[in-house]
Copies of this chain bind each other. A is one copy, B any other.
Amino acid sequence: MQTIRVETPSAKYDVFAGSGLLQTLAPRIERTIGKLPRRVFILTSPEIWALWGHSVQQSFREAPVVLFLPPGEKHKNMASVERLTREMARSGGDRGSLLIAFGGGIVGDVGGFVAAVFMRGIPYVQVPTTFLAQVDSSVGGKVGVNLPEGKNLVGNFHQPRAVFADIAVLGTLPERELRAGLMESVKAGIIRDRALVRYMEEHADEVLAGNAKALEKVIADSIRMKAAVVSKDERENGLRMILNLGHTVGHALETATGYKAMLHGEAVGWGMIATLYLARKRGTISPGQFDRMEKLILRYGPLPPLNVRAAKVVAATSGDKKNVGGVRRFVLPVGIGDAGVVEDVTPAEIEAAVEYMLGRAQSLERAKSLAAQ
């Protein structure tokens, strides 16, 4: 097990990454944050609970109150927040209650937001069960839900008291989800960790086969990168922006396709390819670096085909949350292992990048159908 320390102005907490944490979850939480309160809530999805509920529950002396969030981005909304806070109020929740968000990124985002606003804020613990949630959404305190107008438009910054990332859980993940999650590690390497890029290039087979040692290395390094960035910039005023590499176009893709055509990590994967193109055009990365990073993304893909018009994606980028006061902020890689934020990206540049991305998707589909013949 590896322990990664996160220190922000508003909170300090540890992320524990290792195998077999679930079976001893309750004592681990008590060792970290002290005696459990009278009322403990676990927010989870029916699927996760069916697989791991028994393991988790037997670690508690007193049974926690289990709340369910059905799977899917469509339940990451205000209606769920209202329903869950009402259930907590009816089950005797108070300001001292603890919430455990046990599931993927959506459970973490909704659970964290519910904890942020129930009785004006109660403590919570993240127990992420997908690769993506382990390396990304469980660290950093960004919590929230979607509106029909866009993703994560309602939320808060609320740091967990601890994060327990059990690598063993990933063994039950569908391969597609693992691959989508690995996009966050690819991103971590591109923006901040050249050595991780090399490791992922050299150990792609082991990582993709789910080798526990390789996975723990990739996950811990990814979390460490994010923890370092979040520790320096809790409220996303500066440095933390770089974590959004690929997200402007990625979110736009999700919006333009109604969140249904692809996983978040896959959208970010495509968004990173668009961004790499823009960076190459601007010269912040060389053509050789472009090829190496695009190859890495597609190695950890394969990314799904894109059936969407360029104009629709480009239009969706203008509602991006990273825009402040009408200024369009954009994260660009600088070489391999560094990144920066620029504010002068033009609509024409974004259009060209989106066109390249859609063209790349088409050529991959053609290659695939040729290979299938």
Residues of A within 8 A of B (CB): 37-38, 78, 81-82, 85-86, 89-90, 94-96, 116-121, 142, 144, 147-150, 152-157, 235-236, 319, 321, 323-326
Q: Do A117 and B156 touch across chains, with their CB atoms under 8 A apart?
A: yes
Task: Select from chain B the residue with minimum beta-carbon distance to A326.
Answer: B38
Task: Give the shortest distance, in Å, between A152 (CB) and chain B (any CB).
Answer: 8
Q: Assuming A82-B154, A119-B155, what are 17 further A-B pairs, CB within 8 angstroms? A: A37-B325, A78-B78, A78-B81, A81-B154, A85-B147, A86-B148, A86-B149, A89-B150, A89-B153, A89-B319, A90-B149, A117-B117, A117-B154, A118-B153, A120-B236, A121-B235, A156-B156
Residues in chain B near residue A152, CB distance under 8 A: 120
Residues in chain B near residue A156, CB distance under 8 A: 116-117, 120-121, 156
Task: Give the shortest distance, in Å, between A266 (CB) and chain B (any CB).
Answer: 24
Q: Do B94 and A321 touch across chains, with their CB atoms under 8 A apart?
A: yes
Which of B89, B96, B150, B319 touches A325 (beta carbons < 8 Å)? B96
Which of B95, B147, B155 touches A89 (beta carbons < 8 Å)? B147
Residues in chain B near residue A321, CB distance under 8 A: 94-95, 119
Q: Do B78 and A154 touch across chains, with their CB atoms under 8 A apart?
A: no
Provide a sorted-by-A list of 17 A–B residue pairs whose CB atoms are within 8 angstroms: A78-B78, A85-B154, A86-B147, A86-B149, A90-B149, A94-B323, A94-B324, A94-B326, A95-B321, A95-B324, A96-B324, A120-B144, A120-B152, A120-B155, A120-B156, A121-B235, A156-B156
Cα of A81 to Cα of B120 in the assembled complex, Å: 15
Q: Do A325 and B86 touch across chains, with their CB atoms under 8 A apart?
A: no
The 4 closest A-B pairs by CB, nearest first: A89-B149, A96-B325, A96-B324, A120-B155
When A147-B85, A148-B86 are in contact, do A153 and B119 touch as well, CB less than 8 Å?
A: yes
Q: Do B147 and A82 touch across chains, with their CB atoms under 8 A apart?
A: yes
Task: Give the shortest distance, in Å, between A257 (CB) and chain B (any CB).
Answer: 19
Task: Select from chain B the residue with minimum beta-carbon distance to A93.
Answer: B153
Which of B82, B144, B150 touches A117 (beta carbons < 8 Å)? B144
When A78-B78, A325-B94, A326-B38 are in contact, do A85 and B120 touch as well, CB less than 8 Å?
A: no
Task: Give the shortest distance, in Å, between A98 (CB) and chain B (any CB).
Answer: 10
* Most B C-beta atoms less than 10 A away, residue of A38, A95, A142, A150: A95
Task: Select from chain B the residue with minimum beta-carbon distance to A97.
Answer: B325
Cα of A116 to Cα of B117 in the assembled complex, Å: 10
Task: Give the shortest distance, in Å, between A40 (CB) and chain B (any CB).
Answer: 11
Task: Give the shortest distance, in Å, between A271 (CB) and chain B (any CB).
Answer: 20
